[in-house]
Structure 1
Amino acid sequence: MAKAIGVDIGGTGIKAGLVDLSHGTMASDRVRVPTPEGASPQDVLKAVQSVLKTLDIEDSSLPLGVAFPAIVKRGKTMSAANVSKEWLDFDAERFFRDGLNRNIVFVNDADAAGVAEARHGAARDVQGLTILTTLGTGIGSAFLYNGVLVPNSELGHLNFREFDSVEKWAATSARERENLTWAEWAERLQAFYTHVEFLFSPDLFVVGGGVSKNADDFLPLLELNTPIIPAIHRNNSGIIGAASLAAD
């Protein structure tokens, strides 16, 4: 069985696990630690070292993929919405490669989740444009055209009404912060997805992130022309996609 390790760094948690690449499923328990306050590079590296140590996988030749909540171009992080500003224009792939003392593949977290769902999940064999969105601390997005990733779409940072980033108004963190009911939050998601639908005319929306386990509480409240379904791998999508891309 071909295996690889995936690490998914988020705004609130850092998760890792061993992935069975042939089935696109977890081959170990998921290990999680909170994202360090401020999320500086050194503190995040220590947290990643901690989750990998807890995983206790002795085979250092296994591919390792690391997913991160930022625009990633040629190994550099080009944005820093929910992490320290130290990540701006930062050579993150080299930093983790040196800090972990092994080769890695470094990718945007939503793009990793999109790859997992296109290869092994809700978007498998879907023709045309699939837009995956991860609803969490922010809103991540992945564009997949006939299963091929078009990276760094960042729909959570669309200007919307008085907000410079729609995620400040419509992410899961906004629902929790403002104590919104599912119906109240769904009204915000309706505005967001209607806008994205108008801009891109997708063939399928896939909704990931931890809140996707509660999909029945809010997805049926949305009225769109595009089918919208929860991610199959839910909050493991980033781990599975990062591991898959590392194995490539």
Structure 2
Amino acid sequence: MSVILGIDIGGSGIKGAPVDTETGKLVAERYRIPTPEGARPDAVKDVVGELVRHFGHQGPVGVTFPGIVQHGKTLSAANVDQDWIGLDADALFTEATGRDVTLINDADAAGLAEAKFGAGAGVAGVVLTLTFGTGIGSALIHDGVLVPNTELGHLWLKGDREAETWASDRARERDDLNWKQWAKRASTYLQHLELLFSPDLFIIGGGVSKKADKWQPHLKPERTPLVPAALQNEAGIVGAAMMAGQRAQGQDH
């Protein structure tokens, strides 16, 4: 059994658990600490260190980040402090924890976990996971291989607006939409993605995945099957651990 600690940095909470990366199961109860006000790098670094100490974890650690992650650097910061932009966050967390840390975009982590252990397990071809929450995260996976940092929530829709400002769960709450009204917007977005990527499966994750019975009858792509995410809130933790495991294996060879 290969156990790796996965940590998921979110807008309201930072949560972690050790994961058996061969089964995708958590091997201890998830532990959550509220995200520090403003989510500044030093404050978030301290929480990640606290989570590592809480579990007494000795091996590699995977950490998700709500923004673009390239070669260990955080290149965007939509819902966290602007000091993250251009920061070598891999090095920051590795120094804070004394462990080998691998950073991954939060939606990419969720998509990887769903493709291997969740709603996309055994599905060949192109699987597109979308996380609807504060924004819209995306993970594009082809035959189990991730194309990182797709950021498809920032596609332009309806002329002058980004998809996530119009069709996210936050937009549903802001505009006081019922689930059927929201699903009409989200369907427009999915149909646009179909034209661009012709996916074999859509997986719908994020906060809305817990309420699938409310929107699933109304969410209608043109031709692509659609399923709710299976791992829900654990997907980011599992995907982060998977990515750290892959990196550790690569260094072993």
TM over 0.5: yes
Instruction: Work out whether 1:37 is the aligned partner of 2:37.
Output: yes
User: Is this contact kept in 2: 1:104–1:246, CA < 8 A?
Assistant: yes
Matches of 1:87 and 1:187, distance apart in 2 = 35
User: Is this contact kept in 2: 1:163–1:169, CA < 8 A?
Assistant: no
Aligned to 2:6: 6
Aligned to 2:182: 185
Aligned to 2:193: 196
User: Is this contact kept in 2: 1:2–1:21, CA < 8 A?
Assistant: yes
Q: 1:87 to 1:2 in 2, by over 3 A?
A: same
Cα distance, 1:196 vs structure 2 = 0.9
Secondary structure in 2 aligned to 1:220? coil
Q: 1:57 to 1:13 in 2, by over 3 A?
A: closer
Aligned residues: 245
Cα distance, 1:12 vs structure 2 = 2.6
Q: 1:59 to 1:50 in 2, by over 3 A?
A: closer
> Structure 2 regions of 5+ residues with no counterpart?
247-253
User: Is this contact kept in 2: 1:125–1:146, CA < 8 A?
Assistant: no
Matches of 1:92 and 1:85, distance apart in 2 = 13
Aligned to 2:212: 215
Which letter does structure 2 place at the counterpart of 1:91?
A: D
Aligned to 1:173: 170
Instruction: Work out whether 1:94 is the aligned partner of 2:94.
Output: no
Instruction: Work out whether 1:19 is the aligned partner of 2:19.
Output: yes
CA deviation vs aligned residue, 1:161-188 (integer Å, no higher than 9, x gap): 3655321221112222333211121111
**Any runs of at least 4 consecutive aligned residues in structure 1 with deviations exceeding 3 A, and if so which?**
50-53
Aligned to 1:74: 71
Give the structure-1-normalised TM-score.
0.93
Structure 1 vs Structure 2: percent identity of aligned residues? 48
Secondary structure in 2 aligned to 1:37? coil
Aligned to 2:61: 64
User: Is this contact kept in 2: 1:125–1:147, CA < 8 A?
Assistant: no
Moved more, 37-46 or 200-209: 37-46
Aligned to 1:161: 158
